[in-house]
Amino acid sequence: MSAEAQKSETENKITCTDVTCPVCGISCDDIEVELDDVSVETRNACIMGDAKFKELRSHHRITTPLIDGKEASWDEAIDKAAEIFAFAKRPFFFIGSETSTEAMSVGIEIAERVGGLVDGNATICHGPTVMAIQDVGQVGATLGETRNRADLDIYWGANPEDAHPRHLSRHSIFQRGFFTEQGRHARQIIVVDPRRSTTALHADLHLQLKPGTDFEVLNAIMTVLNGFEPHESFTDVTGISREDLYKAADMVKNARFGVIWVGLGIASTRGKHYNASMAMRLTQLGNKYGKFVILANRGHCNVAGFNQVLSWQCGFPYAVDFSTGEPRYQPGEYSCVDALRRGEVDAVFVMCADLGAHLPKRAVERMCEVPVVSIETAEGPQAFVSDVVLPGVLDAMECEATFYRMDNVPCHARSFCDPPFDFTKSNEDTLIQLRDAIERKLAARQTAIAAGETGETKPPTTATAKLSKEEFVRSLDRLLSWNQT
């Protein structure tokens, strides 16, 4: 337990204040947690944060290592995992976002050491936005600046009222800032969304465009800002009236400090990174009239952290291949779904992410055909398809951690309790132990080769691959029914 955490203890209950929430990209740092032996209560946390903190006392928590679905000792599980990756020819490492940057760094180090592929959550969410940043560049700001200065908030393809429940109250619409003392009355809101979302209900202007026309609308706004007339087919193509288009352009011109919050609606629709690139060019154009910035509404607490860590370790933000000894970057070639769907990888490592529940069918089938090692905190599809499960530690609760918020600001989070086991202190510690075990395996193989032996071993098999498709479906249904209860 961290000595720094502000807490008071009464019998078996502890009360922790100023806790950093490890759920979404906002990383709220004003959470209060009351914890005893059987329950968890929170204050200031949203519904997602409250559910995450309750995992501390969840009956679904994995506290014992598993090999082929059976309990095993920690040393056996680490040795089995090390054997898989020491002898794999094309291993794939998926570094999930709900863990610390410290753990991510060690995971990337292992991937580089064994010549594997490495990827993270951005590949299936804001990867196109990251590509746009590489293409155009980002005019950014901190969440504190947006709270204190912004008088125009544009939510493009984003619905933070549902996805980031405290976004509007802490960092944008309703917060009273240093230069926005009137809160909502000092701000104007534009929402660009094909749906009448809950966030759109707060908008001064809702541009309800046709799905897949983000590029055209962005281009038209820039056309007006540059003093030209949009094409006559604009309304027919986008579904937005010219009157609303000119109104949006005037709001951009008159803003002292504008923020474009881009969500997955801009990155996951037709056009992908071209849409995000155009949004960033609109931001640049907005700076002709006032101050304009753009921020991505990143979903998970440390998804931005993976892009940061991988970038400063190898120069690229995601979808990297180390097989040649040098990092190579190619989304669509070395990224998660593509590598699994094509059946290229022969071993998979997954940390703090449920790929079994979220990837396309063919990608999950490939995970059933090869050895899979996972760091998991709870039962679920990913644990089911894994041959080795290493119990995960809840970062920012059971160990200290560093996260990057959605504005790319690193935040250090303190711990306030201990893991329910003593064989590892953190996910970083787990990966250090795994890295050292792999090094021993590789050294033993080199010694064997030097002594004239082959140094090779039979590739590990996967228990999941022995199941027929019918058996797999039945087992998965049974697992889901357990989770529902």
Two structure tokens written together for 202: 């707060």
Domain residue limits, the chain? 1-59+396-404+411-420, 66-122+302-392+424-484, 127-296
Residue 448 scores a pLDDT above 60: yes
Percent of the chain with pLDDT over 90: 81
Residue 459 scores a pLDDT above 60: no
pLDDT of residue 11: 58
pLDDT of residue 480: 55
Average pLDDT over residues 308-337: 95
Is residue 413 a contact partner of residue 403, using CB atoms and an 8 Å limit?
Answer: yes
Residue spans of beta strands (DSSP E) within 306-419: 320-321, 328-329, 347-351, 372-376, 388-391, 401-404, 410-413
pLDDT of residue 468: 56
Q: What is the DSSP letter of 395?
A: B
Q: Do domains 66-122+302-392+424-484 and 127-296 have the same CATH topology?
A: no
Write the CATH number of the domain with boundaries 127-296: 3.40.228.10
pLDDT in tens, 117-159: 999 999 989 999 999 999 999 999 999 999 999 999 999 999 9
Single-letter code of the amino acid located at 159: N
**DSSP states of 251-313 as a string?**
HHHH-SEEEEEE-HHHHSSTTTHHHHHHHHHHHHHHTTTSEEEEEE---BTTHHHHHHHHHHH
Is residue 347 a contact partner of residue 422, using CB atoms and an 8 Å limit?
Answer: no
Structure confidence at residue 367 as a pLDDT band (50, 70, 90) = very high
Is residue 295 a contact partner of residue 259, using CB atoms and an 8 Å limit?
Answer: yes
pLDDT in tens, 99-117: 999 999 999 999 999 999 9
Kindly tell me the burial class for residue 423, based on how many C-beta atoms sit within 10 Å of its own C-beta (0-12, 13-18, 19 or more). middle
pLDDT of residue 5: 47
Question: In Å, how far from its chain's centre is CA 67?
Answer: 27
Average pLDDT over residues 28-51: 93
pLDDT in tens, 268-277: 888 899 999 9
pLDDT of residue 456: 57
pLDDT of residue 452: 75
From residue 4, give the alpha-carbon distance in Å to each of 17, 21, 409, 414, 416: 11, 17, 22, 7, 9
Residue 254 scores a pLDDT above 50: yes
pLDDT in tens, 58-102: 888 999 999 999 999 999 999 999 999 999 999 999 999 989 999
Higher pLDDT, 403 or 482: 403
pLDDT in tens, 162-179: 999 999 999 888 888 888
Residue 484 scores a pLDDT above 80: no
pLDDT of residue 175: 85
Residue 259 scores a pLDDT above 50: yes
- Mean residue pLDDT of the chain comes to 91
Average pLDDT over residues 463-471: 56
> Could you tell me the CATH superfamily of domain 66-122+302-392+424-484?
TPP-binding domain (3.40.50.1220)
Structure confidence at residue 361 as a pLDDT band (50, 70, 90) = very high
Residue 465 scores a pLDDT above 60: no
Structure confidence at residue 3 as a pLDDT band (50, 70, 90) = very low
Element (H, E) at 7: strand 7-10
pLDDT in tens, 218-232: 999 999 999 999 999
The lowest-confidence range among 269-273, 372-376, 425-429, 433-437 is 269-273
